[in-house]
């Protein structure tokens, strides 16, 4: 079993790192964008970098093709993501190839859904929320509590 851990650098990646007990001991790699915490992680873990789209259609296309190439190279069985935009293409590609996708809505999203959450809710095999208030936006989600 191989896991792709996909998250935008910064807080999303920090949340994903809190789940180390889920992926430690398995073959895994990270997909993120180049920012300080992802660059630091690359010193001790296998990290691939992709363009961060930031809602720019051209950057999303670049991200998609980078993610597709990395997906074909690494061939993960699962993708676990906390969002955001850097990770969306990888999750979509995983679904196209029949792989399982787990999405965890961000801890900071209490009063409203994230954009990546709105997209991923439709395609994730397992959609987890950290606040019970999120059931208002994601009624079929599963409550996981805090990842911290």
pLDDT score recorded for residue 148: 66
What are the φ/ψ torsions at residue 37 (nearest 5 degrees)? -70, -30
Q: CB neighbours of 120 closer than 8 A, spacing ≥ 6? A: 81, 83, 88, 91, 101, 103, 127
The answer to whether the beta carbons of residues 16 and 5 sit under 8 Å apart is: yes
What are the φ/ψ torsions at residue 8 (nearest 5 degrees)? -65, 145
| CATH class of the domain at 2-143 | alpha beta
- Alpha-helix residue ranges (DSSP H) falling in the chain: 11-17, 20-23, 36-41, 57-74, 85-96, 115-121
The answer to whether the beta carbons of residues 104 and 80 sit under 8 Å apart is: yes
Peptide bond preceding 84 in cis form (omega within 30 of 0) = yes
Q: Say what the pTM is.
A: 0.95
Sheet holding 142-143, edge to edge: 47-49, 27-32, 2-7, 78-83, 100-104, 126-129, 142-143
19 bridge partner residues: none
* 32 class by beta-carbon count within 10 Å (0-12 exposed, 13-18 middle, 19+ buried): buried
pLDDT score recorded for residue 141: 98
Per-residue pLDDT of the chain (148 residues; tens, 9 = 90+): 999 999 999 999 999 999 999 999 999 999 999 999 999 999 999 999 999 999 999 999 999 999 999 999 999 999 999 999 999 999 999 999 999 999 999 988 888 999 999 999 999 999 999 999 999 999 999 999 887 6
The answer to whether the beta carbons of residues 141 and 134 sit under 8 Å apart is: yes
């Amino acid at each position: 079993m191989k896991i792709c851990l996909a998250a935008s650098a910064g807080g999303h990646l920090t949340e994903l790192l809190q789940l180390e007990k889920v992926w430690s001991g398995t073959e895994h790699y990270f997909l993120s964008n180049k920012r300080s915490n992802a660059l630091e992680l690359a010193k001790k873990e296998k990290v691939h970098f992709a363009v961060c789209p930031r809602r720019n259609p051209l950057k999303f296309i670049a991200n998609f093709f980078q993610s597709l190439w990395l997906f074909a190279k690494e061939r993960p069985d699962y993708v676990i993501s906390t969002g955001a935009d850097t990770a969306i293409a990888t999750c979509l590609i995983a679904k196209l190839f029949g792989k399982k996708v787990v999405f965890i809505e961000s801890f900071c999203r209490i009063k409203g859904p994230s954009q990546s959450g709105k997209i991923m809710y439709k395609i994730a095999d397992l959609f987890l929320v950290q606040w019970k208030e999120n059931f208002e936006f994601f009624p079929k989600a599963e409550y996981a509590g805090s990842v911290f």
